[in-house]
Amino acid sequence: MIEGRGLSYAYGATTVVRGIDVRAESGRILGLLGPNGSGKTTVVRMLTGIVAPRSGHVLLDGRPLRSFAHRELARQIAVVLQESSGDLPMTVADMVMLGRAPHQSTFSRNSAEDHRIAAAALRRVGARHLADRTFAGLSGGEKQRVMIARALAQRPEHLVLDEPTNHLDIRFQHELLTMIRGLGITTVIVLHDLNLAARYCDDVLVLQQGDVVAHGPCADVLTPGLLEGVYGVGVERLETSRGIQFLFHPLEAASMPSPTA
């Protein structure tokens, strides 16, 4: 379980997250949703210890996140952020092998088991054929899959991903999220596509301007009324044989908020 209690964060004098509670239940996928600038990436950074909250605290399976040593934390939680080190002069295989570092002593060499785990991680994301390529020379979508493979190579108990479907085509979006569901581990995932969230997340937390406006099971939270208020777009919700599907359209002019001067 990943839990944030009373989390707040500010960049200088600008508060971007205000006293929110976040709870990703064990073995379930929590989607972080909200418009651009709502605080999703900042929440991810607080939940993973990349930045310390201005107030509040984070618990990992009931234990304060700050009590974990760096290597110990890396064995528990893997993180994939939007930005990647695209200019690093290393092969894809070497990049994914970095995921094994938390399980090794400081001066140990990669074992046969490490190589097996890294290769399996590349296969799971459909990127085994890229192993000998230079990471810097990959496309955005290929880099994304490699960074997710590196996270899988950590063999974490918890997984946090910030827009993992960014740069991926439709096929790989669905293949990736199907694979993540199959892991059966506690997962927090930032998504912009509400249809992907409805299909692959168990629970969602919806943010708006740094505040939580809804938190709970997808079917209960993702209603047209709530989504129209948060995103400022017309929403039609369809119940299909494969789950919830949303259709979007511009709001009528009379329903749109008046522009500010």
Tens digit of pLDDT for each residue in 208-223? 999 999 999 999 999 9
User: How open is the CA angle 66-61-32, to the nearest 5 degrees?
Assistant: 85
- pLDDT score of 256: 55
Mean pLDDT of 76-91: 81
Q: Is the pLDDT of residue 261 over 50?
A: no
- Give the number of other CB atoms < 10 A from CB of residue 194: 22
Counting residues of the chain whose pLDDT is more than 70, the rounded percentage is: 95
Q: pLDDT, tens digit, for every residue of 178-203?
A: 999 999 999 999 999 999 999 999 99
Query: Which tokens go with 257?
Result: 């908020």
Domain ranges of the chain: 87-153
| Backbone φ, ψ for residue 243 (5° rounding) | 115, -165
Q: Are strands 158-162 and 186-190 parallel, antiparallel or unpaired?
A: parallel
Mean pLDDT of 37-65: 96
- pLDDT score of 52: 95
Q: pLDDT, tens digit, for every residue of 113-149?
A: 999 999 999 999 999 999 999 999 999 889 999 999 9
pLDDT band at 25 (very low <50, low <70, confident <90, very high): very high
Residues 165, 176 contacting (CB under 8 angstroms):
yes
- pLDDT score of 253: 58
- pLDDT score of 134: 94
d(CA 43, CA 227): 20
Residues 145, 113 contacting (CB under 8 angstroms):
no
